[in-house]
Every structure is written in C-alpha cells, then in structure tokens.
Structure 1
Amino acid sequence: MKQIIQSFKTGETKLEEVPAPQVKRGCLLIRTSKSLVSLGTERMLVEFGKSNYLQKAKQQPDKVKQVLDKIKTDGLKPTVEAVFNKLGEPIPLGYCNVGEVIAVGEGVSGFEVGDRVASNGAHAEFVCVPKNLVAHIPDNVSDEEAAFTVVGSIGLQGIRLLNPTLGETVVVIGLGLIGLLTAQLLKANGCRVIGSDLDEEKLALAEKWGIVPFNSGKGDVVKFVEEQTGGVGADGVVITASAQTDAIISQAARMSRKRGKIVLVGVIGLNISRAEFYDKELTFQVSCSYGPGRYDDNYEQKGIDYPLPFVRWTEQRNFESVLYSISSGALHVKEMITEVVPLDEYKKIYGDIGSHRSIASIISYDSGEK
C-alpha cells in the first residue's frame, strides 16, 4: 500500500510503498477514502525534517539536555549512534482519517465490516486503529466533512477546559483550521466570539458565521476587545495560533477580564509575565490533543474506556460530538475545504507546505467513497 512519510534524516516527504497492516486485537482495519492534512502540525514536522542538525537542536532544547545526560551515563559514541538511528527513522504523517471498516479485530464490539468511520489514522491507503480512536459517521455527513472530526476534537477539548457559559465573550487567537472550528463550536455553545488573525480571507469566513473579526496586523487587539466588552475584558481566551513569540500570551492576559481563563491549544512562546497574571488572578491551562485518554496506553491501545459517569468526555466521545455538530448543521466545514488532491499528487500540498495558503487540504484515495 501507499503511505506518506517524513524523513528527519533527509528532510524528504515521500509517498512510500509499505506493507499493508493486518487487523489486530482491539483494533479496526480501515480502507481510507479521505484524509485531512493538518497544515499547522504537519508543517512543523516537515520543516523540522528539512532543518539541519544545529537547527533541530535549537528547536528542541529539552532533547539536547537528554542527549547531554545520556553522554554522561552511556558515553559519546553510543549516544551519537542512538541519536542518528532515531533521526533515521521516518514517521508517518497525518491523523485525520476517514474510511470503511474492512476487518474487525478480536474483542471489538459496536463496529461491523462496511461501517463508515473517522479515526486518527495516518495518510495511508489502509490503517489499523484501536477501537477507542474510531467513531461512526452519521449518514448525512460526507467523507470530506468527516475528515474534520479529529482536528475538530482538538479545538473542542480546549473549549471543554475553558468551560464557557451562555453569553460569555471568548476570544479565539489564530483563525487557522483549528481556530475556525473552535470559534464555530464556541458560537454553537452560546458564546459571543471574537476571532483574531492576520488573514483577511479567514476573517471574512469567520464573520460569515457570526464571529466578530479583527485583523491583529492592523490595530491593537487588546484595545478592540476592551471596546467590545465595555471595558470588562474577555471571559475566556483560546489560543490556537502557532508562532514562536511571547507577545501572544501577553496579549491574551491583557485582554482578559479579572479572573478570566486562558487555554492554549496552539504552540507559542510561554515566557509569562507574572504581573499580568497576578494582577487579574488569571487561570492558564494547556489543552492536550483530542481529550481524556490521549497518550494513555490503557485507553488507546488496550481499549479500556473511562466510565462515562466519571469521565463524561473522552477522545472517542469528543469525536462523536464533532460528528454530531457537523450532522446537525452547527459546525460548517465544507467552506473551509480549499483543495481535494489525489494521493499520488501529494506534492501539491507538501512541496511548499511552508508557504501553502490553504485552510483545509484533503487527500483523496481511490476507494469509491461516499
């Protein structure tokens, strides 16, 4: 089968011919029809792969410290060999997959061969995914729309941590793919939403959905939020931007009301001013991916679910919530699709991903999808 992989050694993004996976216990084998490119996350991986060793080290100072510690314990030569071996391992790209179940692993219930499902599978013709990372697609949701399930869950988890109430004003900083989804979900939750970005096209799209737009490159976003809230400030701020600057977290603090909440979904500089947070007693939290269960092997790999009365929202239940929002018309995703590209033409997306202007790029697989 064909799969898109990223080499950290050569910097190449390649479409490789690799063995197709076999269904495993607790998993579903899925034939892919569509997959969504998460331009923010995948851009970082591709650009990291293309950078030289010094640039890689500067981007991951925590890993440099681990290497130095390993040199002290294991010696220079074994450490160097281990580092180069690690960089030589290509990684699969993608985590927003849609397709049809073609095999059900032992111990899996609730799924059948022929089911249309969304999962966090990679950009590959076939994927084998643990059952807790798969969700059924409603009949009135197309494969292209369902491809937004996982990336939508990232924004939704940030909202769940913020826990806004009806009528509150929430600012979304960064109206990329996740930011536009987050803003819409907040709107559906009864919030007054202000969206801040530099891109006029994204701001116009947000305004169409009832979100108050502001171009942060043309004015003072903190002053704008104060004016929009009668001097009170935002009840909550969700940061979905990706930028290596400390200015964004400072802006978020200054635009917040006293005892407001800030949730980070994106990737930004985090040199926080104590005074800005202290004076207002602000709450700051970093959101972890798709929700409870993420990076827990018992949940993800072994299929042990968290009991719903005690953990209402998990990764899978967030997936289902996003799909329901699309199905009910509360979440609009079709207008975000900039391009649909056949798998063999993947370089149209990845060839110059650093300057790609797409909001949502979808890869299409020849599988007769809905």
Structure 2
Amino acid sequence: TGAGLIGLLTVQLLVAHGARVLAIDFDEAKLDLARQFGAETCNPARGEDPVAAGIAFSRGRGVDGVLITASTDSSDPVTQAARMCRKRGRIILVGVTGLELNRADFYEKELSFQVSCSYGPGRYDPAYEDKGQDYPLGFVRWTEQRNFEAVLDMLAAGRIDVEPLISHRFDFADATKAYDQLAEDKSVLGMLLDYGEPADERHVAKVVLDDRPLPAAGEPVVGFIGAGNYASRVLIPAFKDAGADLRTIVSAGGTSGVIHGRKNDFAEAGADTSALLADESINSVAIVTRHNSHASLTVDALNAGKHVFVEKPLGLTMSDIDAVEAAHAKTDRLLMVGFNRRFSPLTRKMKTLLDGVPEPKAFIMTMNAGAIPADHWSQDPEVGGGRIVGEACHLIDLMRYLTGAPITGVQASAMGGSANATLDKASIMLTFADGSFGTVHYLANGGSSFPKERIEAFAGGGTLQIDNFLKLRGYNWPGFKKMSLMRQDKGQGPCSKAFLDAVRAGSASPIAPEELFEVSRASIEAATLLK
C-alpha cells in the first residue's frame, strides 16, 4: 500500500525475490510504474476496493503479507491490510499512518503487526553504527549493513532499476528550487541533484555572518570548535560578555554553527577545523566538543600557535595528558581547562578564609549528579570517558585549589552491584602534600530535590559550607557567618574572563599548567581504580 519512491522500490525487491505483488495507490502515474516493474495494481481513486482487490489477487485465500509504505493520518491502510490478509498473515508498517486498530481484525486471524525501524537491525545502536561492532551473521542475518550490501548486489545485477524513479533533475546550485518543488508538487517521485564534474580540490564553505574588521592587536580573537548545548547556552555567552572577538565557529554539520554564530555575533561559521586552526587572525581557540576529541584538538591548537581554552576533561587517558603536556612544553601559548568552580565568588571567599588557617584541612564534597541513561555518550568510556573523568574532575580540581597543595594519593571505591555498571556512584579519597585530605562523593542515586553540589571544609575548629553555589555559611568561624548570592554562580563567567584577560595581558594561565595535568591524571587514576 503506497506506491511512492519507497513503495516502488519495495515492489521491485519483492518481484526480484519471486513474489506476486499487488500495488495500491491513488496516483495512476505511479501505478503505471508499478505495472512496469511487474506488479498488479489497484486504484481506490477509480472506485476500486483495496480489500476486494487483495482477496481476488490471492484467489480468495487472503494475501500472505502487506507492506504499508504510505504516508497518511488515516488508519485505513492498516484496517484494509488486516482485512485482506490470510489467517496468520503479516503486516509491516514502513511508512507513517494512523493506528486506530480494530482488535477483532487481528485477533480472529492471529495477525502479526510490526513497525519497520529504518534500515534494519543496527540502526540507532551506537555500538553498531559508531564503533562498527557487527552482529554475528548466524544470529542476525540481515543487519543494516548487510541489507545495503544485498541491495547494491541487486542494482549491480540489474534486478532493481532506479532510473524510472527519477522524476526530476536539478543542478546542485538550484537545490533550493528543488526543495521548493518537492514541498509544493505531489507528483514528484525521485529528485536527483547533479553535482557536475568532480572538483580537483575539496571546497569547504565558510559562511560570512558579519564582515567586520579585526580588533586591535593583542585583543583575544576567538575561534570556537563545537556548537553543542553547553557551548551555545553557557560558554559562548560567557566569552561574549567578557569582550572576546568571536571570530569563527565550526561544528561537525555546519548548520548549528551558523545558527549559534548568528545568535552570538560571530564573524564566520563553518565546518572545517583545520581552516580555523590555520587562520592567523585567530589567536585563541575554545574547544567544546565531545570528550574523546579534547586532547587531540588541544595538541593541534597548541601546535598551531593558539591559546587554548578546553572544556573538561583535558583527556581520557594518561597518554592523552602526556601528549598535551608535551605539546604545551614546546610553546609559550596559554592552556586553560574549564575548571570553573574555582572561580565562583563563593569558592574564592572560602579560599580566602581557609588560607587564614595555617594547618591541614579536611573536605567533604558531594555531587548529587542524578541518573542519566547508560547509553548516553558521556557514559561511553571511549567517547565521554565516564562521569568520574568527565564531571567528578570538577570537585577534584576544586579540592586541589582550596588546599593549595599537590595531590599525593588517590583512592576510590564504587557502589557494588550491577546497578553501578556505569560507575556513577563512587567515593574518591584524596591526600595532599600539606597533610590535608578529603573525599569526593559522586552520586547518581540521590533525590532531585536535594542540592546538586555541597562543599564542606573543616579547619581550626570551624566549618565552612557552600550550598549549591548559592550560599556560603560559616559555623564557629571567627568573623564570618554567611555570604549569599542572588542566583547560582558556578564561576563560568569569571573563568572565561580570567582566560581572556590573560590573553590580553600576555600573562600566565589563570590555572597553573602543572595543576591542570595533576588534576587530570588524578581523575583518570580514580576512574581506573573503580573498574
């Protein structure tokens, strides 16, 4: 049912496999093609009854199966399919229709009804599509890839002919006209965009959003690599507010870069990271991509002579950190990781108070992180690195900042049981060169009404507590009781400004590079101990 582009391809596939086929559609021109491909036809627009046609076509037995490739809000295609099927027949919904089903139609015949998922088994499975982990042929014969392989074999053998399915051709330069016609003309079947002769060189388009001159020498001219949620909602606005010249934004697909580039006054948008790094007018790069690309992009940017602001984590493995450290040692460019919590006004106040106590401190830091799906990219060890490396690192850095002393030891324990397979419920114990120690509790099993982050410091007979970066309280702390903010401030704004100010002044990085490497290695070590 439905003799559009997908329906006519389906007709050819079925005929090629020896099936007798009845094609049903309201468009006689499309049914002419179906007959050309070897199908019998039924046109309800001419008063022909699809159910009666199906019964007659099957010599009164009922058809073995119905593939619905139509697109309609009506439930008629499913209802008609059920009524023309034989007992224990099969109905496959490939298209989109209404689903107001009559139970009796399915119950009395014991019909099977299935919705097709795109290209077949493997579709939407990151392990299959992104990592290339195939399904065993003996258990899943027709996977997404093997379906494509079979169709290509049939095309090569001439058993599928797509030439008659091309109803319109356009030069690629006229692509917008093609889409306009596709939206307005229901007779369009298959539309081909002709790219012309292959070009000698690959051309990557760059969209000019604002043809403005460069700022004065020494001002930070920033290129952003990545245009995801955190970049667009938090980091780009923070850089903009801090006075950066937002020059170029690149994203994998290009489209999101253009959208957020226009919104945030970038001069250009594109999809070519290499071109951004080669642009001599850009002196600073912000890297806000998926975690597994942070280290390599940081190395490339440092080698290109750029100041680098990279979101946490700096890398996913010890070798990642080694590579970044080696690249940084060869340049005088700034390196900054987005450990923003040490720049929060409440953190700065806590640091000042603690520095007045000349003795070791004890810390308890809790991140009530909440659960996220196990198949989220950040949970994938090879892509996101897991939540300890990717998020708990914030609190490891915060403790390193508040003590002001190097980390000398890392221990870690994870909650037992299969429920913690994603390692998002753990405690990390840290010791420091000045005798201080502390524990980071990273928990994904807490209540959403409880504060997400709580920072507690114990020293000199007093206690300091930051509650969700909204309030700092002092308990038995001489001369201090509390400090409150009007709204939560985790330090993203001051962190971005500190980096840009250092670029302007030609001064050292706001976070010492050795601390960045130390915290990154401690985070990776903690995650390794939990496995």
For 1:192, which of 10, 13, 20 is the aligned residue?
Answer: 20
- Give a deviation string over 1:81-125, Cα, whole Å, max 9, x none: xxxxxxxxxxxxxxxxxxxxxxxxxxxxxxxxxxxxxxxxxxxxx
Per the alignment, do residues 367 and 308 of structure 1 end up closer, same or farther by CA in structure 2, a change over 3 Å counting? farther
Structure 1 residues 1-370: aligned runs within 5 Å:
173-218=1-46, 219-356=48-185, 357-368=187-198
RMSD: 1.3
* 1: CA distance, partners of 2:40 / 2:68: 16
The letter for the 1-side match of 2:161 is: H
- Give a deviation string over 1:308-346, Cα, whole Å, max 9, x none: 222212111111111111110111111111122122201
The letter for the 1-side match of 2:190 is: A
The letter for the 2-side match of 1:317 is: R
Contact 2:119–2:144 (CA under 8 A) maintained in structure 1: yes
* 2: CA distance, partners of 1:191 / 1:288: 23
Contact 2:69–2:94 (CA under 8 A) maintained in structure 1: yes
* 1: CA distance, partners of 2:137 / 2:52: 42
The structural deviation recorded for 1:203 is 0.5
Contact 2:65–2:89 (CA under 8 A) maintained in structure 1: yes
The structural deviation recorded for 1:294 is 0.2
* 1: CA distance, partners of 2:37 / 2:65: 19
The letter for the 2-side match of 1:345 is: D
* 2: CA distance, partners of 1:320 / 1:348: 33
* 2: CA distance, partners of 1:303 / 1:227: 46
The structural deviation recorded for 1:367 is 4.2
The structural deviation recorded for 1:347 is 2.2
* 2: CA distance, partners of 1:315 / 1:338: 27
* 2: CA distance, partners of 1:360 / 1:183: 15
* 2: CA distance, partners of 1:318 / 1:262: 20
* 1: CA distance, partners of 2:121 / 2:26: 32
Contact 2:123–2:144 (CA under 8 A) maintained in structure 1: yes
Contact 2:70–2:95 (CA under 8 A) maintained in structure 1: yes
* 1: CA distance, partners of 2:11 / 2:181: 28
Q: Secondary structure at the match of 2:108?
A: helix
The structural deviation recorded for 1:201 is 0.9
The letter for the 1-side match of 2:149 is: E
Which stretches of structure 1, 4 residues or longer, exceed 4 Å deviation after superposition?
none
Match of 1:64 in 2: none
Q: Secondary structure at the match of 2:151?
A: helix
Q: How many residues align?
A: 197
Contact 2:182–2:188 (CA under 8 A) maintained in structure 1: no
The structural deviation recorded for 1:293 is 0.5
Can you give the 5+ residue segments of structure 2 that lack an aligned partner in the other structure? Answer: 200-531
The structural deviation recorded for 1:296 is 0.2
For normalisation by structure 1, the TM-score amounts to 0.52
The structural deviation recorded for 1:275 is 0.9
* 1: CA distance, partners of 2:126 / 2:151: 23
Contact 2:11–2:37 (CA under 8 A) maintained in structure 1: no
Identity across matched positions, percent: 50
Q: Secondary structure at the match of 1:313?
A: coil
Q: Secondary structure at the match of 2:161?
A: coil
The structural deviation recorded for 1:352 is 3.9
Q: Secondary structure at the match of 1:250?
A: helix
* 2: CA distance, partners of 1:317 / 1:239: 22
- Give a deviation string over 1:175-228, Cα, whole Å, max 9, x none: 000000001101111110000001111101111121001112221110111112
* 2: CA distance, partners of 1:276 / 1:317: 34
Match of 1:79 in 2: none
Per the alignment, do residues 303 and 367 of structure 1 end up closer, same or farther by CA in structure 2, a change over 3 Å counting? farther
* 2: CA distance, partners of 1:196 / 1:333: 20
Match of 2:231 in 1: none
Q: Secondary structure at the match of 1:259?
A: strand
The structural deviation recorded for 1:268 is 0.3
* 2: CA distance, partners of 1:194 / 1:355: 29
- Give a deviation string over 1:285-315, Cα, whole Å, max 9, x none: 0110001110000000111111222221211
* 2: CA distance, partners of 1:214 / 1:355: 26
